[in-house]
Amino acid sequence: MSLLELAVTNVRCIEAAQLTIPPGLTLIWGANGSGKTSLLEAIFLLGRGRSFRTRNNDRLIRRGQDHLRVVGRVQRAAEQIDTIGFEVTPAGVSARVAGRSTQSLAELSQAFAVQVIEPGIHKLVEEGGHRRRRWMDWAVFHVEPPFVETWVRYTRALKQRNAALRSQPALAHAWDAEVARLGEQIAESRRVFLDQLQPYWQETVTALTGLDVQLHYVRGWHAETPLLEALAASRPRDEARHLTHSGPHRADVTVRTEGRPAREVLSRGQQKLVAVAMTVAQLKLLRALSGTAPTLLLDDPAAELDGAHLQRFIEQVLRLQSQLIVTSLTSESRLFGSPDATFNVAQGRVQHV
Ligand SMILES: Nc1ncnc2c1ncn2[C@@H]1O[C@H](COP(=O)(O)OP(=O)(O)O)[C@@H](O)[C@H]1O
Ligand SMILES: [Mg+2]
């Protein structure tokens, strides 16, 4: 997988930019506030439909404008090049892949596999389950393509059940069978993914941190109970709170070390390395299972890492043989070798050098 060309319109401080990107290493350098991270956000939007810095896509629109657009040409396989377009307009968010509008962000994820390692990545360890569910599901989208359809249908059925819990609680159970059937499938796909991940995880977290950190999958409802039964059992609570309390939307992957949650034990820098290990391990698994090497965005990669850990980090990243797009404050940065293309960003203007 690699991004060949990119056109950006009205993303934060970038009014317009066009880039041709090599399959190897791209360096994007510029002063603080010049627009480097904004450029990575634009690339991330193409494959994820959201930013890694904000949940609110409207904030990405350049001040004074009413829309943003990102268009990319993506090499998906030797013979397959697709155009992907993503827009945020006053009418909402829309995406097209190869001329067809996409139904969900999950579909976009499949069209352009992109991952990011950025200064906020430690939140994957530190914060609540939703980031880890997203981390897990993104990988499952790639190793098991039919999962996307199941996931979309589950999300829809869950929304309908929750809407019924608000408007006609007594009728909400009409959705239980569908929620349970799809929910069990999602939980099983995630379990398989986490099982398959374990050897890659052990190897990667040891190489990066030297720590013993375990990932443990929690599926989102009582162990040993079929989801249909769990839904029935939690119905009084669901009706009272107008929410579905059991199901894979409550899943998590716990991150533990020394018998305690990693976020309580590890420093910020160590959490960053653990989160990097989660990301690198899943990229290794994707490569092994599906031959996909996602594009990897590295925003300010050296932040918070001492020399020895930075060296281990670089080794792990280079082994992935992914397309790399790296930001730096200086044009001389050679952390990942000498770049195949270099761009300078200044006040939102992107120039090939
Ligand atoms: N919606 C927006 N419209 C215009 N400018 C914005 C918007 N959001 C952020 N900016 C500006 O974009 C600039 C570039 O930010 P950023 O990409 O984070 O820079 P860098 O990563 O190079 O340090 C910042 O100065 C910020 O004030
Ligand atoms: Mg930045």
Please report the atom of ligand 1 found closest to the CA of residue 345.
22
Structural domains in the chain, sorted by start: 1-113+292-353 (3.40.50.300), 122-291 (1.20.1050.90)
Note the ligand closest to the C-alpha atom of 33: 1
State the pLDDT at residue 181: 98
Please report the atom of ligand 1 found closest to the CA of residue 63.
3
State the pLDDT at residue 40: 98
Q: Ligand 1 pocket test: which of 9, 11, 12 has the largest number of ligand atoms within 8 Å of its C-beta?
A: 12
Residue 347 — very low, low, confident or very high, per pLDDT cuts 50/70/90?
very high
In 3D, which of 30, 83, 7 has the Cα closest to residue 347? 30
Q: Ligand 1 pocket test: which of 9, 11, 13, 326 has the largest number of ligand atoms within 8 Å of its C-beta?
A: 13
Mean pLDDT of 105-113: 89
Centroid of ligand 2 to alpha carbon of 216 (angstroms): 32
Please report the atom of ligand 1 found closest to the CA of residue 61.
1
Note the ligand closest to the C-alpha atom of 38: 1
Note the ligand closest to the C-alpha atom of 36: 1
State the pLDDT at residue 170: 85
The model's pLDDT over 36-77, given as tens digits with 9 standing for 90+, comes to 999 999 999 999 999 999 999 999 999 999 999 999 999 988
Please report the atom of ligand 1 found closest to the CA of residue 53.
18
Please, are residues 254 and 218 in contact by the beta-carbon 8 Å criterion? yes
Mean pLDDT of 94-119: 92
- Give the separation between CA 144 and CA 149, rounded to whole angstroms: 10
Q: Which two tokens stand for residue 180?
A: 């349970």
Note the ligand closest to the C-alpha atom of 34: 1
Mean pLDDT of 126-148: 94
Please, are residues 194 and 215 in contact by the beta-carbon 8 Å criterion? yes
What is the DSSP secondary structure assignment for residue 171, as one 8-state letter? G
- Give the separation between CA 209 and CA 309, rounded to whole angstroms: 7
pLDDT at 132 over 90: yes
The model's pLDDT over 222-261, given as tens digits with 9 standing for 90+, comes to 989 999 999 999 999 999 999 999 999 999 999 999 999 9
Centroid of ligand 2 to alpha carbon of 36 (angstroms): 5
Whose C-alpha lies nearest to ligand 1, atom 11? 13
- Give the separation between CA 143 and CA 193, rounded to whole angstroms: 8
pLDDT at 328 over 90: yes
Helices (H) and strands (E) in the chain, counts: 11, 15
Centroid of ligand 1 to alpha carbon of 289 (angstroms): 38
Centroid of ligand 2 to alpha carbon of 174 (angstroms): 48
In 3D, which of 202, 110, 115 has the Cα closest to residue 148? 110
State the pLDDT at residue 260: 97
Please report the atom of ligand 1 found closest to the CA of residue 299.
21
H-helix or E-strand containing 296? strand 295-298
Residue 323 — very low, low, confident or very high, per pLDDT cuts 50/70/90?
very high
pLDDT at 8 over 90: yes
Please, are residues 346 and 31 in contact by the beta-carbon 8 Å criterion? yes
Mean pLDDT of the chain: 96
Mean pLDDT of 117-130: 96
Q: Return the number of other C-beta atoms located less than 10 Å from residue 242's C-beta.
A: 14
Note the ligand closest to the C-alpha atom of 350: 1
SS3 221: coil
The model's pLDDT over 182-210, given as tens digits with 9 standing for 90+, comes to 999 999 999 999 999 999 999 999 999 99
Centroid of ligand 1 to alpha carbon of 38 (angstroms): 6
- Give the separation between CA 164 and CA 239, rounded to whole angstroms: 9
SS3 226: coil
Residue 105 — very low, low, confident or very high, per pLDDT cuts 50/70/90?
confident
State the pLDDT at residue 127: 95
Protein residues whose CB sits closer than 6 Å to any atom of ligand 1: 12-13, 30, 32-38, 59, 61-63
State the pLDDT at residue 104: 83
Whose C-alpha lies nearest to ligand 1, atom 24? 33
Q: Which two tokens stand for residue 283?
A: 């990229």
Share of the chain above pLDDT 90, in %: 93
Whose C-alpha lies nearest to ligand 1, atom 27? 33
